[in-house]
C-alpha cells in the first residue's frame, strides 16, 4: 500500500503543526508505511507498531483519503497502538475505526501531560470522526470594566483579553451579560458608551436622563466621584455584594433623615437594581468562591453536559453542551474528552467539580494547572454544598437532554411530513432555504439557511454579496440566478462525488464488519448533515423558482427537488402558495404542522438575510471617501481627519494645504487632490 508517509520535523506541514501546538516544539516520529495494497486495518497498524517508542505521545489514524479518523494520546505509544492490532474483543466503534485505518501519524512528547494538551488541540482542529467533538465551541462573554480611560466604561467582552481593565466572568450567554450590565448601570450609573462617543458629547445623553449613567462626559459628576462608583461596581462583581448593599442602605437612611428624599430615592433604586442582579443568579454558594461545575447525563444515545460558572461566590449562569459522541461511550469517557477540549482556549478556575469521576483525573488536573499557570483541583464531591452543586447541575443536564430529545422527536416527525407533502422518497436530512435582501437594489445580498434533524444548522449558513454589475437594481430573479450559480458550482467542485441523495447513500461493506457495526455506521452517518440538499425552498413565486431551475439545469443538476414559496393574498401567514416544477400550485391547510414548520424556515431565512443586509449597509454608511484612495492607510487617514476635521473638507483642500498635514508628501497630496477633482 502506498500510504501517506509520517511527517518529519523538516517538512513544511510538520513545522506548521508544531507552531499550532499548545506545548511548543514537538518531534514527529517517522515510521515506514506498508507497501502491500490489500492489507486490512489491523495489519497496517501492526507495521507501524514495530517502529514506535515506549514513551508518551499522540497518534492519528487516517483513512485511504488521508482524512483523520481518530486522535488519541498514550503514556506509551507502542503499548497503546499494539492494542489496535487485534479485532477480537473490541467494541463496535473501535472495530470500525481499525478497519477504516489505512495509515497512521505520530507525535512524541516529553510527558503525558503534554500529550493530553496536544491531543485536545488536534481534536478541536481536525474534528476526527471517532472522537468526542464539541458542537458549540464559541468563547464565553465577560464583563469588562475598562482601565485605559479617565472615565472607565462597563462593556461586554468576548475573545482575547488584550484591552487593559478588569474582567469578570465568564457568563453563560450574551443575554446574561446584557441583563447584568443593564442592572449594574442602574445600580452604579457607569457609562457603557464608546470612547469616541464620550469625547464628542456636549450635553448628557438619554441614559443620563433615565438615570442609568452619571454622565462624566459633560461634568455632571466629578471624575473622583465617578471613580468611587466604579470602585463600588468592581467590589460588587468581586463578590463583596453584601458590603455594598449595607453601605447603600446606610446612605439611603442618612439621606432620608436629612430630608433629602430625592437622593434617598436614588439609593433606593440602586439597592433594587442590585437585588435584581442577585435574584437572577439563582443559587449562590457560601463555600465556593471560584469553580466550574460539570455534570453529564446520557439517554437515547445522546449526551448532555451542563456547566455552571461560579466566580467570586456568585453564580454567573449555566450552559448546556451536546457533544457528538458514539453511543457506545460511557459518561466518564465523554466527560473526560469534553473537559480537555473545553479548556483548550478558555481560562480555568482553581476548582473544577464533576458529577462523575474520570479515569485520568489527576493527569487532567496536572494538564490544566500547567496550562493555567496556577494549581487546578479537579474533584468529585461526595457530600456538603459542593455535592449539592454537582447534583443541581446533573438535574439541569437531565432536563436539558429531555427537552432536546423531545425536540428531536418532534423534528423527525415534521421532516417526515415534509417528505410526504413534497413527494420525497425519504425524510430530508438537509433542507436549504434561499432569500434575498436589498433596498432599491443597494447593498444586495443573498442568503442560504440550512435545517436538519437537529433543527437549524447555523454552521452551514452562507452569505452571498451580489457582485454582478450587469444586474438591474432590484432584479430579484437575477440575484437568485447569481446566488444559485455560485452555490451549486462550488458544491459540484467540492462535493461532486457525493451527489446521490444522502438519504439513499450506502457504505460499501468491509472485511470484518458485523451486522451491529454496520447498523451503527448507518445510524451515525444519518445524524450528520450531508453536503447536498434533499430539498430546496426558494422564497418567491414561480419566477424565482424558474430562475433557480434554469441555473441548476445549466449545471447538469436535475435531481434536487425545488419548491417556491409565494406569500398569500395580502401577505397573510398561513395562506402561502407552493410551486413545484411539473405540478400545479397548491396550499396547505392553515393548521397543518408542516405549514408551520415551513413558515419557521422561511422566517429564519428572512431574519438572516435582513440581518446580513443591515450589517453590510451599516458598514457602507461608515465608509469614508478617503478609503477609496489607493495609498491612504489608517495612519494617513487619521492625520487628514485630525487636520481638516471631515472628509468633505479634505476634498476641498488644495495641494499645498494637503502637504501641510504630517506624513503627506507632494506626491500623495497630488494623488488625493486628483481623486476628488477628476
Place of cell 449526551: 303
- pLDDT, position 274: 66
Whether 39 maps to a domain, the answer reads yes
Element (H or E) spanning 451, and its range?
strand 442-452
Tell whether 83 and 178 lie within a shared domain: no
| Contacts (Cβ under 8 Å, ≥6 apart) of 492 | 555, 557
Q: Does position 95 have pLDDT exceeding 80, yes or no? A: yes
Identify whether 491 is part of a domain. Answer: yes
Residue 424 belongs to a domain: no
Indicate whether 345 and 370 sit together in one domain: yes
**In the listed set 69, 91, 126, which residue is the last one of a domain according to the structure?**
126
209-227 per-position pLDDT tens digit: 888 898 999 888 899 989 9
**Is 119 in the same domain as 196?**
no
Q: Cell 444515545 maps to which residue? A: 301
Whole-number Cα distances in Å, 211 to 152, 227, 450, 557:
18, 17, 44, 61
Cell of 462: 452562507
Return the number of other C-beta atoms located less than 10 Å from residue 60's C-beta.
Answer: 21
Sign of CA dihedral 232, 237, 243, 245: positive
Q: Does 374 lie in the same domain as 449?
A: no
Cα–Cα distance for residue pair 596/574, rounded to 1 Å: 8
What confidence score (pLDDT) does residue 29 get? 46
Do residue 610 and residue 631 come from a single domain?
Answer: no
| Total tally of structural domains belonging to the chain | 5
Instruction: Judge if 475 and 552 occupy the same domain.
Output: yes
φ, ψ at 473 (rounded to 5°): -55, 130
- Cβ distance 537 to 433 under 8 Å? yes
Whether residues 265 and 353 fall in one domain: no
DSSP 273-338: HHHHHHHTT----SS-SSEEEEEEEEETTEEEEEEEEEETTEEEEEEEE--B--TTS-HHHHHHHH
CB 264, CB 257: distance < 8 Å: no
Residues 369 and 337 placed together within one structural domain of the fold: yes
Identify whether residues 569 and 642 lie together within a single domain.
Answer: no
Overall average pLDDT of the 644-667 stretch:
83
Residue 388 within any structural domain of the chain: yes
Predicted confidence at residue 432, as pLDDT, reads 94
User: In 10 A of CB 453, how many CB atoms?
Assistant: 18
In a 3-state reduction of DSSP, which class is residue 84? helix
> Contact at 8 Å (CB) between 309 and 289?
no
pTM: 0.67
Per-residue pLDDT of 624-635, as tens digits, reads 677 777 778 878
Mean pLDDT of 495-511: 52
> Strands 377-379 and 351-354, how do they pair?
parallel
Domain containing residue 572: 431-505+532-617
| pLDDT of res. 412 | 87
Q: What is the pLDDT of residues 429-466, one digit of tens each?
A: 999 999 988 776 677 888 999 998 888 888 899 999 88
For residue 671, what is the domain's CATH number? 1.10.150.20
Say if 515 falls within a structural domain. no
Confidence (pLDDT) at 525: 44
- Whether 408 is covered by a domain: the verdict is no
- The C-alpha atoms of residue 424 and residue 432 are separated, in whole angstroms, by 15
**Beta carbons of 273 and 184 less than 8 angstroms apart:** yes
What is the overall mean pLDDT for the chain? 80
Contacts of 511 (CB under 8 A, 6+ apart): 40, 99
Alpha carbons 669 and 325: distance in angstroms, whole number: 62
Does residue 57 sit in helix, strand or coil?
Answer: strand
Residue 57: which CATH number?
Answer: 3.40.1440.10
**Predicted pLDDT at 502:** 38
Q: What's the number of CA atoms in the CB half-sphere (13 Å) around residue 451? A: 25
Judge contact between 553 and 560, C-beta under 8 A.
Answer: no
Select the more confidently predicted residue: 251 or 325: 325
Residue that terminates a domain, selected from 575, 601, 617:
617
The DSSP code for 645 is S
Q: Which three cell numbers stand for residue 470?
A: 450587469
Looking at the fold, whether 170 and 257 belong to one and the same domain comes out as: yes
Amino acid at each position: 500500500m502506498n500510504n501517506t508517509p509520517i511527517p518529519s520535523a523538516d517538512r513544511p506541514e510538520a513545522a506548521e503543526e508544531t507552531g499550532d501546538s499548545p506545548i511548543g516544539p514537538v518531534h514527529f516520529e517517522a515510521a515506514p508505511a506498508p507497501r502491500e495494497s490489500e492489507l486490512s486495518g489491523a495489519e497496517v497498524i501492526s507495521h507501524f507498531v514495530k517502529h514506535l517508542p515506549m514513551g508518551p505521545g499522540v497518534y492519528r489514524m487516517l483513512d485511504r483519503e488521508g482524512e483523520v479518523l481518530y486522535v488519541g494520546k498514550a503514556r506509551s505509544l507502542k503499548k497503546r497502538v499494539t492494542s489496535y492490532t487485534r479485532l477480537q474483543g473490541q467494541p463496535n466503534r473501535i472495530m470500525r475505526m481499525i478497519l477504516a485505518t489505512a495509515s497512521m501519524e505520530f507525535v512524541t512528547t516529553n510527558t503525558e501531560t503534554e500529550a493530553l494538551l496536544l491531543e485536545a488541540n488536534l481534536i478541536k482542529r481536525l474534528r476526527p470522526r471517532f472522537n468526542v467533538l464539541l458542537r458549540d465551541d464559541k468563547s464565553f462573554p465577560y464583563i469588562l470594566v475598562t482601565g485605559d480611560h479617565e472615565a472607565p466604561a462597563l462593556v461586554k467582552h468576548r475573545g482575547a483579553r488584550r484591552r487593559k481593565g478588569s474582567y469578570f466572568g465568564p457568563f453563560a450567554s450574551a443575554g446574561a451579560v446584557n441583563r447584568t450590565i443593564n442592572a449594574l448601570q442602574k445600580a452604579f450609573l457607569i457609562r457603557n458608551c464608546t470612547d469616541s462617543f464620550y469625547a464628542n458629547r456636549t450635553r448628557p445623553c438619554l441614559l443620563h436622563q433615565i438615570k442609568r449613567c452619571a454622565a462624566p462626559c459633560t461634568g455632571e459628576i466629578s471624575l473622583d466621584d465617578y471613580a468611587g462608583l466604579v470602585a463600588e461596581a468592581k467590589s460588587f462583581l468581586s463578590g463583596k455584594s453584601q458590603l455594598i448593599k449595607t453601605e447603600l442602605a446606610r446612605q439611603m437612611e442618612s439621606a432620608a433623615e436629612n430630608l433629602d428624599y430625592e437622593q434617598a430615592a436614588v439609593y433606593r433604586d440602586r439597592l433594587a437594581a442590585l437585588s435584581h442582579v442577585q435574584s437572577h443568579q439563582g443559587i449562590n454558594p457560601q463555600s465556593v468562591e471560584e469553580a466550574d461545575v460539570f455534570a453529564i447525563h446520557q439517554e437515547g444515545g445522546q449526551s448532555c453536559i451542563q456547566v455552571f460558572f461560579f466566580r467570586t461566590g456568585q453564580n454567573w449562569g449555566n450552559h448546556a453542551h451536546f457533544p457528538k459522541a458514539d453511543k457506545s461511550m460511557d459518561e466518564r469517557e465523554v466527560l473526560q474528552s469534553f473537559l480537555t477540549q473545553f479548556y483548550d482556549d478558555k481560562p480555568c478556575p482553581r476548582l473544577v467539580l464533576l458529577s462523575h469521576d474520570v479515569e485520568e483525573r489527576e493527569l487532567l488536573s496536572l494538564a490544566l494547572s500547567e496550562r493555567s499557570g496556577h494549581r487546578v483541583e479537579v474533584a468529585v464531591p461526595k457530600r456538603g454544598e459542593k455535592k449539592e452543586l454537582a447534583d443541581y447541575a446533573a438535574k439541569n443536564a437531565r432536563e436539558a437532554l429531555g427537552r432536546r430529545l423531545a425536540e428531536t422527536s418532534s423534528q423527525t416527525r415534521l421532516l417526515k411530513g415534509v417528505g410526504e407533502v413534497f413527494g420525497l422518497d425519504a425524510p430530508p436530512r438537509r433542507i436549504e432555504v434561499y432569500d434575498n435582501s436589498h433596498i432599491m437594489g443597494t447593498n444586495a445580498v443573498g442568503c442560504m439557511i440550512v435545517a436538519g434533524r437537529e433543527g437549524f444548522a447555523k454552521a452551514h449558513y452562507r452569505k452571498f454579496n451580489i457582485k454582478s454589475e450587469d444586474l438591474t437594481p432590484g432584479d430579484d430573479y437575477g440575484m437568485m440566478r447569481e446566488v444559485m450559480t455560485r452555490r451549486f458550482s462550488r458544491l459540484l467542485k467540492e462535493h461532486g462525488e457525493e451527489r446521490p441523495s444522502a438519504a439513499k447513500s450506502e457504505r460499501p461493506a468491509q472485511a470484518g464488519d458485523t451486522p451491529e457495526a454496520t447498523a451503527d455506521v448507518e445510524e451515525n452517518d444519518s445524524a450528520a448533515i450531508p453536503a447536498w440538499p434533499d430539498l430546496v425552498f426558494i422564497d418567491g413565486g414561480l419566477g424565482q423558482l424558474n430562475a433557480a431551475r434554469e441555473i441548476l439545469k445549466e449545471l447538469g443538476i436535475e435531481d434536487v427537488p425545488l419548491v417556491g414559496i409565494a406569500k398569500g393574498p395580502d401577505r397573510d401567514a398561513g395562506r402561502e402558495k407552493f410551486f413545484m416544477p411539473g405540478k400545479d400550485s397548491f396550499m396547505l391547510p392553515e393548521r397543518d404542522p408542516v405549514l408551520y414548520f415551513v413558515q419557521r424556515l422561511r422566517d429564519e431565512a428572512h431574519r438572516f438575510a435582513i440581518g446580513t443586509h443591515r450589517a453590510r449597509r451599516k458598514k457602507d454608511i461608515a465608509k469614508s471617501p478617503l478609503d477609496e484612495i489607493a495609498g491612504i492607510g489608517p495612519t494617513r487617514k487619521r492625520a487628514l481627519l485630525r487636520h481638516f476635521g471631515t472628509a468633505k473638507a479634505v476634498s476641498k483642500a488644495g495641494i499645498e494645504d494637503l502637504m501641510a498635514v504630517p506624513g503627506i508628501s507632494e506626491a500623495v497630496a497630488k494623488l488625493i487632490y486628483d481623486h476628488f477633482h477628476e
